[in-house]
Amino acid sequence: MYDIAIIGLGPAGATLARLLDSSFSVAVIDRKNADGSGFQKPCGGLLAKDAQKAISRFDLTLPKDVLVDPQIFAVRTLDIRTGLVRHYQRFYINLDRHKFDLWLGSLIPGHVEVFDGSTCTCIKQKGKIYELQFLRDGRLRTITARYLVGADGANSIVRKFLYPDRKIRSYVSIQQWFSEENSNPFYSCLFDPDNTDCYSWTISKDGYFIFGGAFPGENARARFENQKQCLRDLGFRFGEVLKTESCLVLRPARPNEFCTGRNNAFLVGEAAGFVSPSSLEGISSAINSAYILSQVLNSRVKDPCTAYYRKTFGLRLKLTLKILKCPFMYFPPLRKLIMAAGVNSIEVIQNPQER
C-alpha cells in the first residue's frame, strides 16, 4: 500500500518523484531498466529553450555524457512543395534522449521505490484506492495507492482509464537512423503538405543522421517513405539504415483535449496532452506540470484534482495560444508568404571552397 503510485519515468514522472515530500510512500512503475537497457523513447533529442528554462529553475546542470555532437545554432527550414529554404537561429541543445531520461531518474531520492523493467497492464478503482497490476520479470504483481499519477506519455493507460471516451488528436512518429554521409552536419525542419499536415526533421547526432516525422495514422509508413524519396531528389544523402523506431505522438487541437485528472488520479506531461501543437515539444510542459502537481500534493489540500486543474491554467493557456499559432506555420499559402519575405531568417554565408 502506497500513498502515491506513478506510472512512467520520463521527464514528468522523474520530476514528480524527485519533488514529492519524503513523508509520502511513493512507487514508480516504468518500462526502462535502471542499467539503461529496455525501453527507449523514440525522440530526436533536442532540448528546446523552454525545456532548458524548466530545468534551470531547479539549479540543475546537464552532465557531459548526456550531450552529443554537434551543437547546431540554426535550423534549415524547407518547404518541399514550394522549394523555399530559409535558415532561422535556434538555441537547441543536442543530446542523447535516453541518457537524459536516465539522468533525471538518477536524481530520484532513495525512499522512492522504483519498479523498473515493468509494464502496467491493469488499473482498478476500489472505493478510494487504486489497484495496479504490472508485469515484471515475467511475474504479475499488484500494488495499491491512494493517489494515482499517469506520466506514461501519449498512449497513457491512466488517461484511457480516466477518460475512455476522450480523444486527443494523434500522429504516428517514425524515425530512422542512418550512417552519416552528409559532408556538413545540420538540423532541418521540413514541411511537406503532400505527406503530412504536421512536420518532419533531420538531425545530425554523433556520427549518425536521423530522419523522422509525424504522420497521420493512415498509411503513415508509406507517407514516410514518400517523403524520404523527395528528400533524396533534393540532395539529402541517406546512408545505411541502422534502426527504425516509431511511437504515438499527441498534437492537441482544442483546449478541451487537455486532461488533468479526477477522483484522486492525475495526468502530467504528454499523458495530459501537454504538448506544443506547433513544435511537438513536450519536455518543458512535462517538467512544469510535474512541479505544479508536486506543490499540490505536498500541500495536502482537500481537493487536489481541482487545485491541480486551476494551477495548470497558465500552462493550458500557453498551449492554447500555440494552437492558435499553428495556422501561421502550417497553412501553406501563409507559410509561403512568410518564408518568401524572409521574416526573422538569417543569411548563411557559404565558404567559397564549398561552392
Q: pLDDT value at position 181?
A: 86
Q: Residue 21 and residue 90: Cα distance in Å, rounded?
A: 37
CA 91 to chain centroid: 18
Cell representation of residue 18: 524527485
Query: What confidence category does residue 354 fall into, taking pLDDT thresholds of 50, 70 and 90?
Result: low
pLDDT band at 69 (very low <50, low <70, confident <90, very high): very high
d(CA 65, CA 106): 14
For 19, other C-beta atoms within 10 Å of its C-beta total 18
DSSP-assigned letter for residue 227: H
Alpha-carbon gap, residue 118 to 163, rounded angstroms: 23
Q: What pLDDT is recorded for position 92? A: 94
Domains, the chain, with CATH or none: 2-341 (3.50.50.60)
Q: Are 211 and 175 spatial neighbours (Cβ–Cβ below 8 Å)?
A: yes
Task: Please state the pTM of the whole predicted model.
Answer: 0.94
Q: Coil, helix or strand for 287?
A: helix
Percent of the chain with pLDDT over 70: 99
Average pLDDT over residues 251-280: 96
pLDDT, position 348: 82
Please name the residue that has the C-alpha cell 498534437. 251
